[in-house]
Amino acid sequence: MSLTEPFRKIIHVDMDAFYASVEQQDHPELKGKAIAVGGNEIRGVVSAASYEARKYGVKSAMSGALAKKYCPDLVFLKPRFSRYKEISSIIKQIFYEYTDLVEPLSLDEAYLDVTENKKGNPSATLLAQEIRHQIYEKTGLTASAGISINKFIAKVASDYNKPNGQKTVNPEEVLGFLEELDIRKFHGIGKVTAQKMYALGVFSGKDLKLKSIDYLEAHFGKNGSYYYNVVRGIHNSPVKSERKPKSVGAERTFETNLSSEIFMIERLKQISDELEHRIKKVNIAGRTLTLKIKYSDFNMQTRSKTLPYFISDKSLILATAKELLFQEKLENSVRLLGISLSNLNTQSPSSQKIEKEKVSVQLRIAF
């Protein structure tokens, strides 16, 4: 889709600090306090942090020890995924009252295509307000939303007025919005890529737009065409009501670091059992097995092997994982092991068309 074609109306709904907010909702004594879901002050990793904790710099994927250092009064809570799934199910039911084109990204966020919707309302902005109000009425939790012509812009917009807010980027505003956008705000550009862009003199969407597709592909490989397109408002990925997983995995963080490979094999058996349960539950198999190793110094290493056949049985998963474990000497004691299967039998080849058309904004639409 180019900006001269009829536009879709996409809403990206993102729950505000979901896991932490659920805990505060279920335990009123925690409201207003800095809490972290997951990890503890000695080890482990934070899965989610309340907004009170974020003020101190606590964020997801941070070690519990560092989080405690940043926020001495931080309260750690064990995750309750069954409860989060329960609340997520209520939220999804609300989404389906508006459209069947719902693409969940996780328990706490989803894309909705409301171009044609069950309410017959032409305003995606008003629909997003209704959805957020319904979520609050039925769960007591707040959500933020982004509304625009495609998934990329909607996702970027949903971060603008967090928490408990929304932002609409109308079709005629798209190019100006993207030109003014800090490169760090572009979905798909992480810290490492942002630093590389800074070094190349690219700080904003306007700077990025000045670079040719050949230049971007030379510096960023296949991602170059993605950057070239999205800064021009071109992102053709439709909202998919059934997302096929690209990989399935399971992992364990240990209470004490492991130095003996014998003990590691015991843990790999447990992880293989869990992974088998997960993949057979959805009736899939994979050809590429990846062993994830996180050392006591937090360095990460992955080792992968692609087989000539699909596997889903725990004995084959374990045998391949053991082979990868003994593939080379371990660098240090180990705090986490994980196994994942990719190259799944659910995937089909696809190609992406690189669009180099000149874009003009001509069509206005009710948002």
CATH topology for the 18-79 domain: MutS, DNA mismatch repair protein, domain I (3.40.1170)
**pLDDT tens across 274-324, in order?**
999 989 888 899 999 999 999 988 899 999 999 999 999 999 999 999 999
Question: Which listed CATH number (3.30.70.1290, 1.10.630.10, 1.10.150.20, 3.40.50.300) goes with 179-230?
Answer: 1.10.150.20
Spell 235-260 as b/e; 16+ CB within 10 A means b.
Answer: beeebeeeeebeebbbeeebeeebee
Q: What is the largest CA-CA distance in the chain?
A: 66
Residue 2 pLDDT more than 80? no
Q: Which residues are catalytic?
A: 109
Q: Are 286 and 343 in contact (CB under 8 A)?
A: yes
What is the structure's pLDDT at 358?
35
> Which helix or strand (DSSP H or E) is residue 145 part of?
strand 143-148
Tell me which residue of 238, 210, 243 sits closest to 106, measured CA to CA.
243
- Domain boundary assignment for the chain: 10-16+82-173, 18-79, 179-230, 247-344
Give the pLDDT band (50/70/90) at residue 1: very low
Architecture of domain 10-16+82-173: 2-Layer Sandwich (3.30)
Q: Classify 247-344 by CATH class.
A: alpha beta
**pLDDT tens across 189-244, in order?**
988 999 999 999 999 999 999 999 999 999 999 999 999 999 999 998 999 887 67
Where does 231-313 have alpha helices with state H?
A: 261-281
Which residue do the tokens 């000695």 mark?
42
Total-model pTM: 0.73
What is the structure's pLDDT at 351?
33
Tell me the three state secondary structure of residue 310: strand
What is the structure's pLDDT at 91?
97
**Average pLDDT over the chain, rounded to an integer:** 90
How is residue 80 written in tokens? Answer: 């309750």
Residue 359 pLDDT more than 50? no
How many percent of the chain have pLDDT more than 90? Answer: 80
258-277 mean pLDDT: 94
DSSP state of 211: S
Residue 103 pLDDT more than 90? yes
What is the structure's pLDDT at 7?
86
